[in-house]
Amino acid sequence: MALTAKQRTLRARVAAHQLHASGQGNTAPGTKAFLDRFEREVDPGGVLDPGERAKRAEHARKAYFLALALKSSRKRSRLLGSSRAQTRHVAPAHTENVDPSGDASKGLGQ
């Protein structure tokens, strides 16, 4: 019996929830490979003491994520700046109680 598109979606959602409920996931190998990259960066020859390699890898990882945060922040600033520039307008000059000659010391109607 063939499943409808809605039934396939429901079956996939059930499977995803079962996977996450069991604590299993398929991202662990990818996460490990990503983090191992920093150890290879700081000790390509594998000559450092494991403790020193881990310490340096932790600094490399933090530097990587801080650089991403900086890049993201700068991008948001540019986007925010451009949207502000598009919506920025010059407020009209306040002309209440100002003499038409431009002398602000003389109020109208005084």
Q: What does each of the 110 residues of the chain score in pLDDT, given as a tens digit?
A: 899 999 999 999 999 898 888 876 677 888 899 999 999 999 999 999 999 999 999 999 999 999 999 999 999 999 888 766 665 555 555 555 555 555 544 444 44
pLDDT of 108:
47
pLDDT at 100: 55
- How far apart are the C-alpha atoms of 97 and 31, rounded to whole Å? 68
Cβ atoms of 42 and 56 within 8 Å: the answer is yes
Query: For residues 25 and 20, what is the distance between their CA atoms, to the nearest angstrom?
Result: 7
pTM over 0.85: no
Q: How far apart (Å, rounded) are the C-alpha atoms in residues 24 and 20?
A: 6
Rounded Cα distance between 9 and 29, Å, is: 26
* pLDDT value for 57: 97
